[in-house]
Structure 1
Amino acid sequence: MEDKDLVFDREHHILYSKQCKKEILSKISLHYSDEETEKFFTKVQLQYVDFLKDFRTDLGGKKNFHNGAGGNYDCIALFSYYVVCKDKTSIAEIEEMEGNLFLPAFKMLKFVDCNKPIYKKLMYKSFAVSKKKCDKWNDFDMNVAPYKKDEPIYYEFTKCPIAEFAKEHNLLEVMPAMCNPDYTAMELIHARLVRKTTCSNGSVCDYTICGDKDEYLKQHEEYIDEEGYRRNK
């Protein structure tokens, strides 16, 4: 089925990104024959349309930076792929796909070293800007702690539209795949994320961020919990 033929509220919703479509088609072709690939992708498309029927209509479409590659709508598409191809795919594969969508922007920042004060300050400023955008769209409730030169950066989300979606559709098992790439993103800029909970397995998604050489990390060993989340002690 052509994307243009999908029937959904295009005034308030947008289509998954081209990168996301490519990811899904690539994985379907790994698991199914050439003859079946188109059939299963059509099923994914229709599931995506069905999910949008009760998805929030106030997320700003293409104007909202959270709706780009790997963002809100791509996550809905990955959930759609998971539901349709659950007998073939895995949470690890979904995490790989989300990483392929979400991480390229960070890979372009490989020159950044968050152990250096100038980059740490710039990163804090970027989070402060993100907080203003979240307030504008009311998609994520974001709080950013004041900047302190000798301490890690801290911010948190107390509301996440993807976590809310997963809860509503009994898909919380997939959320580690959506959340774990945050760790990899920080590693790409010589930083580390320290996180104890997310909005999907707690009441807050906490982000404590420091350079990858920071002594703070010794106090908060990373581990994988029983649900598959990367977390810290």
Structure 2
Amino acid sequence: MEDEKLIFDHTCHVLYSKACKEQIQDKIALHYPAEQWEAIWTQVQKQYVDFLKDWRTDLGGKKNFHNGTGGTYDCIALMAYYVICKSVTNLDEIEEMEGNLFLPAFRKLKFVNVNKLFFKRLLHFSFATAGKKCLKWNDYKMNVAAYQKGKPIYYEFTECPVAEFAKQFDLLEVMPALCNPDYTAMELLHAKLVRITTCSNGSKCDYMICGDEDEYCRQHPEYKDVQGYRRNK
């Protein structure tokens, strides 16, 4: 089905990104015979639209930077794919797809090294700026701690629309695949993420970020829990 034929409220919702569409169609082609590709893709599209019918309408549409590639609506599209293609997909594949959407922006920042004070302060500034944008859209509740020299950067989300969506539609099992790429994103900046909980398996999503040479990250080794979340002790 052509994207233009999908019926949903464009004043408050956005279509999945072109990159997300390509990711899903590539996986459909991997798992199904060619004669089924269009039918399966149409089912995913219809599931996406069905999700939006019962989803909140206050996330800012195209104006909200969280709704771009790899963001809130792409996560909804990946969950639509998961629902329709659950018999052939798995969480490792969903995590790969989200990483392919979310991580290219970080790969462009390969010159960044958070072990260096300049880049660490710059990273904190970017988080503080994002926090102000979250206040504007009232979507992700983001609290950013003041910068402290010699200590890790800290911020937290106490509300996350993607986690809310997963709870509403009984898809919490997918959340590890959507949360874990945060770790890889920081590794691309020569940084380490130390996280205990997320909004989907706790009351907040906590981000403690330091350089990958910092002793702090060695004091909090990473592990993967039974649900598939990357976490720290």
Alignment partners' CA distance in 2, 1:78 and 1:40: 14
- The one-letter code matched in structure 1 to 2:19 is Q
Show the 5 A alignment for 1:92-171. 92-171=92-171
- The one-letter code matched in structure 2 to 1:104 is P
Q: Can you list the C-alpha shifts for 1:102-147, whole angstroms capped at 9, x where unaligned?
A: 0000000000000000000000000000000000001100101110
Alignment partners' CA distance in 1, 2:120 and 2:210: 8
Shift of 1:19: 0.1
Aligned residue number for residue 193 of structure 2? 193
Aligned residue number for residue 76 of structure 2? 76
Q: Can you list the C-alpha shifts for 1:47-71, whole angstroms capped at 9, x where unaligned?
A: 0000001111111111111011100
Aligned-residue Cα RMSD (Å) equals 0.4
**2:173 aligned with 1:173:** yes
Aligned residue number for residue 65 of structure 2? 65
Aligned residue number for residue 50 of structure 2? 50
* TM-score normalised by length of structure 1: 0.99
Alignment partners' CA distance in 1, 2:24 and 2:155: 32
- Structure 2: any 5+ residue segments left out of the alignment? none
SS at match of 1:129: helix
Shift of 1:219: 1.0
Aligned residue number for residue 203 of structure 2? 203
Shift of 1:186: 0.2
Number of equivalent positions:
233
- The one-letter code matched in structure 2 to 1:110 is K
- The one-letter code matched in structure 1 to 2:184 is T
SS at match of 2:218: helix
Aligned residue number for residue 217 of structure 2? 217
SS at match of 1:142: strand
Moved over 2 A (4+): none
* TM-score normalised by length of structure 2: 0.99
Alignment partners' CA distance in 1, 2:155 and 2:179: 15
- Structure 1: any 5+ residue segments left out of the alignment? none
SS at match of 1:208: strand
